[in-house]
Structure 1
Amino acid sequence: MKVIICGAGQVGWQIARHLSGEKNDVTVVDNNPELVRRATDTLDVQGIAGFASYPDVLDRAGARDADMVIAATHSDEVNMVTCQVAHSIFAVPRKIARLRSQSYLTAIYSDLYRRDHMPIDVVISPEREVAEAALRRLAAPAAFDTQSFLGGTAQLVGISLDENCPVINTPLRQLTDLFSTLRAIVVGIRREKKLFAPDPGDQLFAGDQVYVFTHSQDLNRLIEIFGKTSRKQERVVVVGGGNVGLAVAKALESRTERVRAKVIEQNRDVAESAADTLERTIVLHGDGLNSELLNEAGIDRADAILAVTDDDKTNILTAVRAKEAGCAMAICLVNDPTLVPLLRPLHIDAYINPRATTVSSILRHVRHGRVRGVYSVGDAEAEVIEAQVLSTSPIAGHSIRDIDFPEGVLVGAIMKGEKLVKPTGETRIEEGDVIAIFAMASDVPEVERLLQVSIDFF
């Protein structure tokens, strides 16, 4: 597949890394020659320096025979024009654009993206993705990561194991015997900063971070088995009243169960705009790092603080201060992946990486076969792929035990009709089943082959 990626920042680079690693023909375009050079030096890609929306630049990038254009520059307008040029001049079959401005995303203007207007096949909104990720973290306070699959019936949850976890030093095979009715399976373990897909004989140790697939109805029981407690989030403080914080506050207001939310925003104009938009949420104007303002927001009684300003260090320090003041749970937005190892020693419970959520969203629309969802795990170390099994797929009609999956691949859950099934070696995969597969990044191409990759998806 030939793909042109416009924008060589963190998102563009990560997408290029994924796709070039899977032997796709990738060309990166950016008006910053240094970013282009970084991509061509570190990845197996071609690079073009220039403005992505210019027809001659797209032509040099190979748009005449490209299968897809991914427009992920920092400018919404450049991304939109790039898709228009790719469609009108070069007839590129599939166009994906990242758009940040909420005005472009309002539902009443959705007709804008029809093929006879602004021909964008998929619009990705980082702010909306991040807000949804934040709400998922709030819904599972004992987990550092969580994502829904199979229509919401299954959850992937990341749980950090402490010394008081009842199941440490227990082989995974024995866990299955001890909790035979629990619809859950451990698909990934991060130990000493290295992520791997475990074998049935592997044990769990204190300090491990485990990724578990579970039936949504069994989530609370799973959390308790791993030594955590589930608690309702009734009081939430959101630091940052921009697009992300505002979207979270609005979602909390719309919930049937009452959640008392307060928003802290440093910029007066943004704070006033948020106060006008929100109905039941108190908006405080000031610095979220200010102890007196945090106390005024009732941080000592808060069930969670969500720090989502556009500054990583402010988010981290605000979360630390809130925990010190007695807040039960701290979640912060972190753009820089090199800061992530600091979060655990600082007792920050969970983090959201906007780039990772955007990468996951884009990959969902890039994957071949009947792929319905993709989630990037960690720093693009692994992927969870949700896909429908085609009749032509090599895995259709076979038991999991008889399928030649790579070592770094585990089936986490299977949806057969309306029923979610916990996979075992004897489980037979049939045409029409929807499966969720955990795969280390290096094994993704083989998973796609097993799901019967074909260009007819486009």
Structure 2
Amino acid sequence: MRALIAGAGRLGAQIAQVLAAAHNDVTLMDIDPDRIAALSGSIPVPMRVGDACAPDFLEAAGLRGADLIIAVTGRDDDNLVISLLAKRQFAVPRVAARINDGENAWMFTSHWGVDIAVPAATPLISLIQEATGATDTVALLRLSKAGVEVMETVITSRSRTAGAALSDIGLPNGTVIATVVRNGQPTAPAPEMRLCPGDEVLLVSHHATERDVQSAFQ
């Protein structure tokens, strides 16, 4: 998948990490050269300095032919302009835009080219799954200095661990369950807790791969 991310703040940088870890073709953009410079070398994606509200810049950044753009700048008006340009001028199939101020949520519709409106409080992993249609288990964040990876798997009605107690699940070596997100709320992972379809399980591991986690839960 070819994706562009407008806005290299904390959220944009994390999204870029996740998509790059899943072997997608990702470009991260921001109007602030200092912000891009600070991220240089820490995220393995091309980065561009420029105004994503300008069609010429979007063209040069490679938006034409992209599968997805995620507008996560700190300004709602910029996110809407980026979305409208992406949809109307560049015919991008999927456009996700962050809503910084809840009072502006009514504008984040298809009229402005927005396919996926993302409230500021939306968990990162939920945003990425909705925007990309990612697989059940995705690399969320790689903490290379600590040798730790945070991953998530989503329980569905087809998952063999649906209805199972956490204590009965054979986790890969060096892996622990950090939290279970249920109905949008993180829940302490007590051993007797039983998983339900829709649960999002976040795990921390030193050794496991995405395939290992997939095998344990799905």
Does TM-score exceed 0.5, indicating one fold?
yes
Tell me how large the CA RMSD over aligned residues is: 4.0
1:384 deviates by 4.3
Tell me the distance in 1 between the aligned counterparts of 2:129 and 2:17.
Answer: 15
Structure 1 residue corresponding to 2:119, chosen from 118, 125, 138: 125
Aligned residues: 193
Q: How does 1:243-322 map to 2 (within 5 A)?
A: none
Other-structure match for 1:81: 81
1:55 deviates by 1.9
Contact 1:370 1:389 in 2 (8 A): no
Contact 1:6 1:30 in 2 (8 A): yes
1:131-179 CA distance string (max 9 Å, x none): xxxxxxxxxxxxxxxxxxxxxxxxxxxxxxxxxxxxxxxxxxxxxxxxx
Please give the secondary structure, in 2, of the residue aligned with 1:28: strand
Tell me the distance in 1 between the aligned counterparts of 2:178 and 2:47.
Answer: 37
Q: Does 1:30 align with 2:23?
A: no
Amino acid at match of 1:79: N
Other-structure match for 1:446: 211
Q: Which one scores higher on RCO, CA 8 angstroms, separation ≥ 6?
A: 2
Please give the secondary structure, in 2, of the residue aligned with 1:14: helix
Contact 1:387 1:434 in 2 (8 A): yes
1:264-284 CA distance string (max 9 Å, x none): xxxxxxxxxxxxxxxxxxxxx
1:6 deviates by 0.6
Q: How does 1:222-261 map to 2 (within 5 A)?
A: none
Structure 2 residue corresponding to 1:408, chosen from 175, 200, 205: 175
1:7 deviates by 0.8
Amino acid at match of 1:422: R
Amino acid at match of 1:388: T
Q: How does 1:362-401 map to 2 (within 5 A)?
A: 362-365=127-130, 366=132, 368-369=134-135, 382-388=150-156
Amino acid at match of 2:127: I
Residue 446 to residue 33, structure 1, CA distance change in 2 (3 Å): farther
Tell me the distance in 1 between the aligned counterparts of 2:67 and 2:179.
Answer: 31
Contact 2:5 2:12 in 1 (8 A): yes
Tell me the distance in 1 between the aligned counterparts of 2:87 and 2:21.
Answer: 27
Contact 1:124 1:361 in 2 (8 A): no
Please give the secondary structure, in 2, of the residue aligned with 1:96: strand
Of structures 1 and 2, the larger Rg is shown by: 1
Tell me the distance in 1 between the aligned counterparts of 2:173 and 2:24.
Answer: 20
Please give the secondary structure, in 1, of the residue aligned with 2:40: helix
Please give the secondary structure, in 1, of the residue aligned with 2:97: strand
Residue 434 to residue 62, structure 1, CA distance change in 2 (3 Å): same
Other-structure match for 2:62: 62
Amino acid at match of 2:128: L
TM-score normalized with structure 2 length: 0.68
Amino acid at match of 1:119: G
Please give the secondary structure, in 1, of the residue aligned with 2:41: helix
Tell me the distance in 1 between the aligned counterparts of 2:96 and 2:18.
Answer: 16
Residue 95 to residue 405, structure 1, CA distance change in 2 (3 Å): farther
Other-structure match for 2:100: 100
Residue 444 to residue 88, structure 1, CA distance change in 2 (3 Å): farther
Tell me the distance in 1 between the aligned counterparts of 2:197 and 2:78.
Answer: 40
Q: How does 1:156-175 map to 2 (within 5 A)?
A: none
1:312-353 CA distance string (max 9 Å, x none): xxxxxxxxxxxxxxxxxxxxxxxxxxxxxxxxxxxxxxxxxx
1:10 deviates by 1.8
Other-structure match for 2:53: 53
Other-structure match for 1:359: 124
Contact 1:96 1:121 in 2 (8 A): yes
Contact 1:5 1:12 in 2 (8 A): yes
1:35 deviates by 1.9
Please give the secondary structure, in 2, of the residue aligned with 1:38: helix
Residue 76 to residue 402, structure 1, CA distance change in 2 (3 Å): closer
